[in-house]
Structure 1
Amino acid sequence: MPRRLAPILAVALATLTAFPGTAAADTRGWTATWSASPQRPGINYTPNWSEQGFARQTVRQVVRVSAGGVAARVRLSNVYGAAPVKVAGATIARTAEGAAVRPGSVRHLTVNRARSFTIPAGAELASDLVPMPVGALSSVTVTLYLADPTGPVTYHAQAMAPTYRAEGDHRADVGGAAFTEKTVSWYYLSGVDVLGGTHRRGVVAFGDSLTDGYGSTPGADNRYPDELAERLAASGRPRAVLNQGIGGNRVTVDSMQLGDKGTARFRRDVLGQPGVGTVIILEGTNDIGMNQPPGPIGTPPTEVSAAQVIAGHRELIRQARAKGLRVIGGTLPPIKGSRYYTSATEAKRDEVNAWIRTSGEYDAVADFDRALAASSDEDQLNPAYDAGDHLHLNDAGYRAMARTIDLADLR
């Protein structure tokens, strides 16, 4: 460990001694470096294990952090659980290939210094400090052994990354041979925080599937928040960039499958993240597009006006400003040719975008609409960025989104 970091770790360890069993709300000195928005268990666009839960099984999850630090902790969420969940044991390690981890890097997670702990129903829990240096843009593997039946699981549906499952207790395995099953969702895992990293305050990307990264290459970390973190690091100004997108999410409408409405989840998913100073809001496409049958994943369609979307954005701005955050508004990208497109939805999108650009209510604007539009038709995605459904983006599109953001606008 570099000598200059030793005092930071010493202070961190003293904090752990003074405040064992760190609660999720305790943000002293911590910076969130990775996050995922919790969702209710249920069916979604891809198969998952959220409804059946786990029993005598080990779940191994790989995430790439944005900012580094000299120590880490892991946050686990049971906010949509009907009963407490006992974690028989958990580890964090440096990632190797697939479900394997690097030899010698496995560290046991504890809460109140106990290796077995319980996440209360309706709550989030943070582990104790782990004195393991974490590099910026590096991957860590979090493994949970769940011996007792969990029941339905709080999860994040569209991880765009593999999660592995094994029968029995394999929390400390270095190899990945036991992990014979996988999905592309995250379970219980809601955050990784670090100490002793950059002093620049982090950025939260808040939104729907365009923030979540749907259409990007699974396991490649090419979502737009990932690309933004890489861009910041390359500029010599690294900082944490958190992804709080949920596929199908709306500003104004709650959904059992697609997350609480943006105005309701903003406090937890943005304001509850330690060490952040800026939020980028890109949401509203699903509000105006999910107005025709069939509804999203079998739910009824809902008619939402442009005025309602704008009112929702104003509420998000109000919440962010009340906590001292800088707020950047993202214009809604083109939808022509997609299942959402009609003359009525296009008129709503134009009205919302005109307000975002010209109202002056946001501190700054990221004009994703113009950056992603085809040169021949400003209402349609550039074919070079289109994932194929004229609504979502490929890797090149998400890189273009990250380039659209003026780094000077980030506090």
Structure 2
Amino acid sequence: MRLTKTLAALATAAALIAPAVPAHAGTTGPRWSGAWSAAVQQPSPGGLPGSSNWSQAGFQRQSVRQVVRVTGAGVAVRIKISNLYGTAPLTVSGATVAKAAAEAAIRPATLRPVTFSLRTSTVVPAGRELLSDPIPLPVQALDRLAVTLYFKGATGPATFHDISSATSYRASGDHRFDPRATAFTDTSQSWYFLSGVDVLNPATRGTVVTFGDSVTDGTGSTPDADNRYPDQLAERLIAAGKPLTVLNSGISGNRILTDDPLFGERALARFQRDVLDKPGVRTVIVMEGINDITYPAPPVTAQQIIAGHRELIRLAHARGIRAVGGTIMPFKGNPWLYPDGTAEPFALEQIRDQVNAWIRTSGEYDAVADFERALLSPTDPDRLRPEFNVRDGQEGDWLHPNDAGLNAMAEAIDLNAL
């Protein structure tokens, strides 16, 4: 009876909120803004050596609790469930959202059931995504939310985001309303089915989408610390009193020109879904191209990469979205590209230099975030600063900056350009 009354009250509140809410950029009045996102990928064993995840097996009679940090405040939230890479309809037996406590625990007073068209369960068709009803849970910027999804029947392989730099939790049975962490004994470093959290706030002026590869995705950042460069950019915006939210649409290993079963659809193919279709978008920061340069096949030229960037700019401008170009950072010393420790792939470095020169000087982007200059070594222009390559006292891979390097990236962005 108590749950029935709670659902009825929340459904009434959601129905009152929903009619006044336009969903996309360019609308007036109260509107939704994207406050967290994950760019989804097809099920796979994962792109890192020795990695593992739950995407290929999927779920059955299991609850999955995923903790995310929102980048904006709101009077209500809504979540997006993705079955984009599913081959059959996905039945979500139920879902809840709450403010997170330690690990998989939640704050009980904030626990809310999630409804879809005023129903507690829903079916997401194969190849589709679905928004929940508005959930009247007031949140502040940088609140951590725990979204719990319960799957009674077999889901089949799961649409997911591979490298999350965050811990997801799994429990046997239905633990949507369980505030404790005890039952959630299994963990993973990926996100599953959950692709977005939006906030409703008339004061928010829009959303900044960070679009890129592993450096944007946060590969190499401290797990569960929210130190990816988009997270630290959001913190800067909040500290500066600028009412913009930030979304992370990075995929590790992603390329501009080529699809990959482990590293996602090419940037040109996913830009519509991962940038243009996000609610409230006003600016996109693009940092892509290093994987096109460094993957052995197919070989690409600087002009091909530049042509890809031009198309992304064209697509953004056609929707009235400001485009900021991020320069590609150095990678000298990376063990995959410099296998003997001394060889220098000059041809690859030259391509990177040519693309960066175009980003800086062509004037085709509305603004430039010069990540390379912010992170390069003062004594070697093809290498990261050593202090940005150390993790737990050990040398990194000279490709993915540590938390301090990711902070330097966030600091390199002119907030007024957003």
Contact 1:204/1:242 (CA < 8 Å) preserved in 2?
yes
What is the match of residue 4 of structure 1? Answer: none
Contact 1:70/1:197 (CA < 8 Å) preserved in 2?
no
CA distance in 1, matches of 2:163, 2:243: 26
What is the match of residue 289 of structure 2? Answer: 284
CA distance in 2, matches of 1:237, 1:354: 30
What is the match of residue 296 of structure 1? Answer: none
Q: TM-score scaled by structure 2? A: 0.90
Contact 2:25/2:280 (CA < 8 Å) preserved in 1?
no
CA distance in 2, matches of 1:26, 1:125: 21
Q: How does 1:166-181 map to 2 (within 5 A)?
A: 166-181=171-186
Contact 1:208/1:283 (CA < 8 Å) preserved in 2?
yes
CA distance in 1, matches of 2:306, 2:332: 21
Query: Does 1:396 find its partner at 2:412?
Result: no
Query: Does 1:93 find its partner at 2:89?
Result: no
Contact 1:60/1:144 (CA < 8 Å) preserved in 2?
yes
What is the match of residue 408 of structure 1? Answer: 416
Contact 1:67/1:240 (CA < 8 Å) preserved in 2?
yes
CA distance in 2, matches of 1:251, 1:236: 34
Cα RMSD for the two superposed structures: 1.9
**Residues 103 and 285 (structure 1 numbering): CA distance in 2 closer, same or farther, change over 3 Å?**
same
What is the match of residue 3 of structure 1? Answer: none
Matched-pair identity in %: 55
CA distance in 1, matches of 2:20, 2:310: 41
What is the match of residue 34 of structure 1? Answer: 36
Q: Please, which of 15, 18, 28 is the counterpart of residue 16 of structure 1?
A: 18
Q: Please, which of 300, 305, 323 is the counterpart of residue 301 of structure 2?
A: 305
Contact 1:67/1:197 (CA < 8 Å) preserved in 2?
no
- Once the two structures are superposed, residues 153-211 of structure 1 have per-residue CA deviations (whole angstroms, 9 ceiling, x without a partner) of 00000110000000111111000100000001000000000112533211000000000
Runs of 5+ consecutive residues of structure 2 not aligned to the other structure? 1-11, 339-344, 391-395
CA distance in 2, matches of 1:37, 1:246: 7
CA distance in 2, matches of 1:283, 1:381: 17
Query: Does 1:47 find its partner at 2:42?
Result: no
What is the match of residue 373 of structure 1? Answer: 376
Contact 1:85/1:119 (CA < 8 Å) preserved in 2?
yes
Q: TM-score scaled by structure 1? A: 0.92
Query: Does 1:350 find its partner at 2:353?
Result: yes
What is the match of residue 71 of structure 2? Answer: 66
CA distance in 2, matches of 1:122, 1:26: 27
Letter in 1 for 2:45: I
Number of residues of Structure 1 aligned to a counterpart in Structure 2: 390
Contact 1:251/1:263 (CA < 8 Å) preserved in 2?
yes
Contact 2:204/2:245 (CA < 8 Å) preserved in 1?
no
Query: Does 1:383 find its partner at 2:386?
Result: yes
CA distance in 2, matches of 1:192, 1:396: 27
Q: Please, which of 356, 360, 363 is the counterpart of residue 366 of structure 2?
A: 363
CA distance in 2, matches of 1:11, 1:368: 44
CA distance in 2, matches of 1:378, 1:352: 15
Distance apart, 1:11 and its partner CA: 9.7
Contact 2:42/2:264 (CA < 8 Å) preserved in 1?
yes
Contact 1:58/1:143 (CA < 8 Å) preserved in 2?
yes
Contact 1:248/1:258 (CA < 8 Å) preserved in 2?
yes
Contact 1:62/1:95 (CA < 8 Å) preserved in 2?
yes
What is the match of residue 6 of structure 2? Answer: none
- Once the two structures are superposed, residues 112-144 of structure 1 have per-residue CA deviations (whole angstroms, 9 ceiling, x without a partner) of 100011111100000001111011011000000
What is the match of residue 316 of structure 2? Answer: 320
**Residues 380 and 17 (structure 1 numbering): CA distance in 2 closer, same or farther, change over 3 Å?**
closer
Letter in 2 for 1:226: D
Letter in 2 for 1:311: A
Contact 1:24/1:75 (CA < 8 Å) preserved in 2?
no
Contact 1:79/1:122 (CA < 8 Å) preserved in 2?
yes
CA distance in 2, matches of 1:409, 1:112: 39
SS of the counterpart of 1:229? helix
CA distance in 2, matches of 1:25, 1:85: 29
Distance apart, 1:29 and its partner CA: 1.6
CA distance in 1, matches of 2:379, 2:24: 49
CA distance in 1, matches of 2:142, 2:79: 17
Query: Does 1:331 find its partner at 2:327?
Result: yes
Distance apart, 1:14 and its partner CA: 2.7
CA distance in 2, matches of 1:101, 1:53: 24
CA distance in 1, matches of 2:18, 2:239: 33
Contact 1:32/1:240 (CA < 8 Å) preserved in 2?
yes
**Residues 329 and 41 (structure 1 numbering): CA distance in 2 closer, same or farther, change over 3 Å?**
same
Letter in 2 for 1:303: P
Contact 1:366/1:404 (CA < 8 Å) preserved in 2?
yes
**Residues 26 and 346 (structure 1 numbering): CA distance in 2 closer, same or farther, change over 3 Å?**
closer
Contact 2:206/2:243 (CA < 8 Å) preserved in 1?
no
User: Moved runs in structure 1, 4+ residues, more than 6 A?
Assistant: 22-28
Distance apart, 1:373 and its partner CA: 0.3
Runs of 5+ consecutive residues of structure 1 not aligned to the other structure? 1-9, 292-300
What is the match of residue 132 of structure 2? Answer: 127
Distance apart, 1:305 and its partner CA: 1.4
